[in-house]
Amino acid sequence: MLIDERLEIETPEGTLLTLSLAGPIPRAMAYGIDLLIRLIIFAIIAFLVGAFGNVGTGMILISLFLLEWFYPTLFEALRNGQTPGKKFMGIAVVHSNGTPLSFNGSLIRNLLRTADAFPLFYLLGFISTLVSPRFQRLGDMAANSVVIHVENAPTAVKPDESTATAPDWPLNRDDQLALLAFQERQAQFSEPRQQELAQLAYPELSPSLALQRLKAVTRYLMEGAR
């Protein structure tokens, strides 16, 4: 079995949709944020109704119950599979066929949270996410749900005005993707590293010339000849 953080599903429209699965770390952080929010809500409620004696105590106990069991379910079911913590971390729960999480699904995965938290600090759930090929904790397996990344960074292609050269070798699809990926990520590399990488394509040229040539070819791929 291929170990990958990607899950490919086919939509009814016949498109292959790629879900990128969220691992234990962002999920734990989302959980921490939610815990904090719940604490704050609880503190506010306790402050507001604390003056009402035993009736107030009753309200506090009921709100504790609701916060513990229904905070995640209500948010996941009503807010596109995202609790505030998950939204902050850019992750969301969906069914493993990519459809939005149903109320029942959300209830199952949250009722079974106790089993995932067993014996302490979500140990069982943590092991389960590591073992599962889809990063699912036990509750996710029962509810047939997965947690995915949903952040959406807009693309910005900046055309520049230098020359574009056709590649001087028969280009296959993998080459093309590699060149385009190089173009997108080059801002992350230092100049010498870019030259070093460019020399893999043109070992016979000098480093700076190789880089220039490679950029021209990439531009040709993006925009065509000038």
Partner 1 sequence: MKQIQFEHRYRPVWESLEDQLKQLEAIRVNRRKALPLNQFVTDYRQLCHQLALARERGYSLELQQYLNNLVLRAHRQLYRYNPPLADRIGDFLARGFPQAVRRQWRWHMVSALSFVLSIALVWILVQQQPDMVYTVLDENSLTDIEMMYQPGEDGSGDIHEGRGGDDDVMMFGYYIKNNIGIAFRTFAGGLLLGVGAIIVMLFNGSFFGAIAAHLINVGGDQPFFTFVIAHGAPELTAIVLAGGAGLRLGWAIIAPGPYTRLNALRLAAKDSLPTMYGVFALLLLAAFIEAFWSPRDFEPVVKYSVGAACWGLLYLYLLFGGRHGTGKG
The tokens of 129 are what? 């996410």
CA-based nearest residue to 157, from 225, 213, 212, 223: 223
Beta bridge partners of 205: none
Among 3, 51, 155, 187, binds partner 1 (CB under 8 A): 155
- The minimum distance between CB 204 and partner 1, in angstroms, equals 26
Instruction: Give the nearer residue to partner 1 in terms of CB position, either 114 or 162.
Output: 114
- The minimum distance between CB 206 and partner 1, in angstroms, equals 27
Q: Which of residues 84-103 bind partner 1 (CB under 8 A)?
A: 92, 94, 98-100, 102-103
46 binds partner 1 (CB under 8 A): no
Among 29, 46, 165, 183, binds partner 1 (CB under 8 A): 183
47 Rama class: left (phi>0) / alpha (psi -120 to 50) / beta: alpha
62 binds partner 1 (CB under 8 A): yes
- The minimum distance between CB 98 and partner 1, in angstroms, equals 6
Pairing label, strands 16-20, 91-95: unpaired
Instruction: Give the nearer residue to partner 1 in terms of CB position, either 3 or 16.
Output: 16
Among 16, 25, 51, 120, binds partner 1 (CB under 8 A): 16
Site string for partner 1, 105-144 (x = CB under 8 A): --xx--xxxxx--x-------------------x--xxxx
170 binds partner 1 (CB under 8 A): no
- The minimum distance between CB 170 and partner 1, in angstroms, equals 14
**Site of interaction with partner 1 (CB under 8 A):** 11, 13-19, 53-55, 57-62, 64-65, 68-69, 78, 80-81, 92, 94, 98-100, 102-104, 107-108, 111-115, 118, 138, 141-144, 148, 150-155, 157, 159, 173, 176-177, 180-181, 183-184, 221-224
